[in-house]
Structure 1
């Protein structure tokens, strides 16, 4: 039994500083009276993500916590933590996962987020994973999220709900959702470029996916408007 009762009107958003998590932050603000954010410093190569998360949380006026998790960097083997590996562009022709996949990352993030929420009496954890993501990361699928939610609640004897509002949305649909919940101004300070470039490189798979979503939605990307680039 938790020492702090979980309150259903409180939400914790896992905020990476990227497009999807920023949209989820404003989605949460539109639904929960009390919202906080948590960002994980997992040894990611592009530290700009942490700065973006701080800026966006400040813009939203919410409490922001950065938690260190350096094991992923110690293990290496992927393009997000290992400087010796260049990010692959697009989907691999052999059907294998791209080298931007960090095995176990979302499982660990959401478990730590749930533990942080448990300590603070927060009943809802919101994250930006999407099953429709181009890469098909297995830890972004609904069945993974449901299984993890069950394991978390069994292991913590709790009733924490994992929310993934973008789960079945296209990138264009997430842009329209960002419009609806008032996230566009904050998206001007978000970061998604796999090369860590500001302005964004416009050539990596993440930049192309983001640009395609805004183009299909018929909305100018606030980040590109602010700093130029792709």
Structure 2
């Protein structure tokens, strides 16, 4: 059924959203990607997203969300704010208030315009750093809100919602996109493509998941030869 449908992927050029892009390309007849320019810390994110969509032949929309930069100063929009994990119950300095609410709302408007029924985003409640707008409850609530606001029957898909980073790498491998995602995506808060700086929280999370998956894959390969 979904093979006949059209989908919009919320796309940053990072590991998670690129995995979701490959996931969508396998399932839907037509797939378009949307990237939001909110004056994020590294414009290389936009460049990376452009390059990936061009290589995969996916129509790519870039929407101006610069107001978010003005309203929500944080480590992803201000060079002078350090990237830090949350302490004592506080959210990390990388949390952008309202980001996923706005992104998914505008993705819904785009989907309405291009007659797409499905919206895909790479949020995860397993490895979500405590962000409240990455939870399953929030996404389900937002799905209802979007449908009511436009009298449409959108479906928000969150393929990574219950996967940790190891399992996300495994999914990429199953989609035959493991090497592509490892070499071409930008997850690093310091703007370094592929394995990144190795020091920021995003790089550490990505590497830990990668190491765990490579170890697991090696064990599985060894079992096959026993």
For 1:72 and 1:103, locate their aligned partners in 2 and report how far apart those are by CA, in whole Å. 9
| Deviation (angstroms), 1:167 | 0.1
For 1:108 and 1:134, locate their aligned partners in 2 and report how far apart those are by CA, in whole Å. 18
Q: TM-score, with normalisation over the residues of structure 2?
A: 0.90
For 2:24 and 2:128, locate their aligned partners in 1 and report how far apart those are by CA, in whole Å. 24
In structure 2, stretches of 5+ residues that fail to align are 216-226
Partner residue in 1 for 2:36: 40
1:192 aligned onto 2:187: yes
Contact 1:8–1:122 (CA under 8 A) maintained in structure 2: no
Contact 1:56–1:186 (CA under 8 A) maintained in structure 2: no
Contact 1:22–1:183 (CA under 8 A) maintained in structure 2: no
Q: Which secondary structure state, in structure 1, belongs to the residue aligned with residue 16 of structure 2?
A: helix
Q: Which secondary structure state, in structure 2, belongs to the residue aligned with residue 144 of structure 1?
A: helix
Q: TM-score, with normalisation over the residues of structure 1?
A: 0.88
1:210 aligned onto 2:206: yes
| Deviation (angstroms), 1:134 | 4.5
| Deviation (angstroms), 1:76 | 4.0
Contact 1:113–1:125 (CA under 8 A) maintained in structure 2: yes
| Deviation (angstroms), 1:36 | 0.8
Q: Cα RMSD over matched residues? A: 1.5
For 1:77 and 1:52, locate their aligned partners in 2 and report how far apart those are by CA, in whole Å. 23
Relative to its length, the structure with more helix (as a share) is 2
1:15 aligned onto 2:11: yes
Q: Which secondary structure state, in structure 2, belongs to the residue aligned with residue 133 of structure 1?
A: coil
1:52 aligned onto 2:48: yes
Determine which structure has greater relative contact order: mean sequence separation of CA pairs < 8 Å that are 6+ residues apart, divided by chain length: 1
Partner residue in 2 for 1:223: none
Partner residue in 2 for 1:225: none
Contact 1:22–1:186 (CA under 8 A) maintained in structure 2: no
Contact 2:40–2:77 (CA under 8 A) maintained in structure 1: yes
For 2:179 and 2:47, locate their aligned partners in 1 and report how far apart those are by CA, in whole Å. 16
Aligned mate of 2:153, from 152, 159, 164: 159
Deviations along 1:45-94, one digit per CA (max 9) or x if unpaired, are 10110011111111211111111111111124210001110101x4x330
Deviations along 1:152-200, one digit per CA (max 9) or x if unpaired, are 0000000011100000001000001001112224311110111223562
1:149 aligned onto 2:149: no
Contact 1:79–1:87 (CA under 8 A) maintained in structure 2: yes
Aligned mate of 2:70, from 71, 74, 86: 74
How many aligned positions are there? 211
Q: Which secondary structure state, in structure 1, belongs to the residue aligned with residue 117 of structure 2?
A: strand
List structure 1 segments (4+ residues) > 4 angstroms apart after TM superposition: none
Partner residue in 2 for 1:123: 117
Q: Which secondary structure state, in structure 2, belongs to the residue aligned with residue 122 of structure 1?
A: coil
Contact 2:38–2:65 (CA under 8 A) maintained in structure 1: yes
Indicate the larger mover: 127-136 or 95-104: 127-136
